[in-house]
Structure 1
């Protein structure tokens, strides 16, 4: 039986749909019952028979930091997809990020070891991969993490989670790690991921950052994860990027697909420097949530290019063009926004 953590998120819900479509025996854990509606919403994009597919999943209420509930979820499990994570770039959320991303992953790894799980797939992030000092140098799976760099709190905890997975491989658990970039998929328009990017662009953005990032379709992520789990490949990590694009080009493409105006002003380094300081001050004075940290301002201004050749070579994988992903996701958004 397969166990999926984080099944109520973007990747997890798409992964569950693929697994049950293939008649796999699947168990998924959830923390809050109302989040299960998000899974049904995602399923509705791909089938009219939502309940039939949804009811194929054995749902277990559990928390990745609650060992007793996790132990029950691991009964008879042979393969684990660990998708659960806390995504935040707010510096004040560091301890919560550590608890969920690092400690939670350590708990999953420990139970994989004690239950002699055959294989673990962990979904990490390109944030956990080191950056090359030279902008012209491709970032690969071998690019070394620099602990002395001014890394974001999210990146630090995703890297820490990867360390826990590598520990598990030393204690007998075969594992693969995938490092996707910005994942494009429908739904979760208010959740802070790529869905919210489509929503923000639709409502109108004035500025675009001058940096670059890597993008990938959610179905590519899911397909790579399942192919890796069903392969003989083990104890390796893979960058999942279809294309590297500037934020300007990405925003232009999405705006065109949504039939709205794109941002036409570059957010300079000086502007972002002022913005993150004002954001910090607003948090300190009024307790408002951080929207822009120093590390995020630096990240969205950086030109980082990721190399996906390892995955393409070892899995003979072809990525979906980002234009196709944007068109598809934009259509779902427009259909739902009326």
Structure 2
């Protein structure tokens, strides 16, 4: 039996659809019942037999920081996909990020060891990959993490979570780690994840940045995960990205597909340096939620080029073109918008 953590998220819900479509025996954990509707919504994008497929999943209420419920969830499990994570770039949320991303992953790894599971797949992020001082140098799985750099709190905790997985491999667990870029997929328009970018662009954005990052379709992330789990490959990490693209170009392409005007003004590094300081001040003085941080500004203005040759060579993998991903997700968003209007 396969266990999926984070089954109500973007990656987890798409993974569940693929697994049950292939008649796998699956158990998934969730924390909040209302989130289960998000899974059904994702299923509806790809099939008319939503209930039939959804009902194949054995759902268990559990928290990755609650050992007793996790122990019950691990009964008779042979393979684990650990997709659960807390995504935030707010510096004041570091302890929450650490609790879920690092301590929660340590709990999953420990139970994998004690239950002698056959293989673990952990969904990390390119945020946990090292950086190159030269922006023209391609970042690969071998690029070293420099702890002296000013990393975001999210990156620090995803890197820490990877260290827990590597610890597990030293204690007898076979594992693979995937490091996706910005994941493009439908169904989570109002959350804080990548899907909400399409909603923000449709509503109208005033500014763009010229920083470069990497993008990948959610279906490619799922396909790479399942292929790696079915392969003889163990104890390796893989960058999972289709294309490196500037935030300006991404926004233009998405705006075109959504039928809206793209942002016209550049948010320069100088302007953003003022903005994150104002954001910090508003948080300290008025308790407002952080929207911008020094590290996030560095991320959206820097040129980072990631390589995907390791995965392509290992699995003979071909990625969906980013233009097609943007088109597909935009269509899903507009369809959902029409339904909500109706």
TM surpasses 0.5 = yes
Match of 1:177 in 2: 177
Match of 1:71 in 2: 71
Alpha-carbon shift at residue 209 of structure 1 (Å): 1.1
Q: Tell me, what secondary structure is at the counterpart of 1:96?
A: helix
Alpha-carbon shift at residue 4 of structure 1 (Å): 0.1
Question: Structure 1: how far apart are the matches of 2:332 and 2:26?
Answer: 27
Match of 2:37 in 1: 37
Question: Structure 1: how far apart are the matches of 2:74 and 2:244?
Answer: 38
Alpha-carbon shift at residue 185 of structure 1 (Å): 0.3
Q: 1:10-52: CA deviations, max 9, x gaps?
A: 0000000000000000000001111101001101111111110
Q: Does 1:224 align with 2:224?
A: yes
Alpha-carbon shift at residue 265 of structure 1 (Å): 1.1
Match of 2:115 in 1: 115
Match of 1:86 in 2: 86
Runs of 4+ in 1 over 3 A off after TM superposition: none
Match of 1:320 in 2: 320
Alpha-carbon shift at residue 195 of structure 1 (Å): 1.2
Q: Does 1:19 align with 2:24?
A: no
Query: Which structure 2 segments of 5+ residues have no match?
Result: none
Alignment of 1:268-283 (within 5 A): 268-283=268-283
Question: Structure 2: how far apart are the matches of 1:210 and 1:289?
Answer: 25
Question: Structure 2: how far apart are the matches of 1:194 and 1:128?
Answer: 17
Alignment of 1:1-338 (within 5 A): 1-338=1-338
Alpha-carbon shift at residue 285 of structure 1 (Å): 1.3
Q: 1:88-125: CA deviations, max 9, x gaps?
A: 00000000000000000000000000000000000000
Q: 1:205-232: CA deviations, max 9, x gaps?
A: 1111120110000000000000000000
Q: Tell me, what secondary structure is at the counterpart of 1:234?
A: coil
Alpha-carbon shift at residue 60 of structure 1 (Å): 0.5
Q: 1:265-306: CA deviations, max 9, x gaps?
A: 111010000000011111111111100010000110000000
Question: Structure 2: how far apart are the matches of 1:137 and 1:104?
Answer: 34
The aligned length equals 338
Question: Structure 1: how far apart are the matches of 2:210 and 2:322?
Answer: 19
Q: Tell me, what secondary structure is at the counterpart of 2:16?
A: helix
Aligned Cα RMSD in Å?
0.5
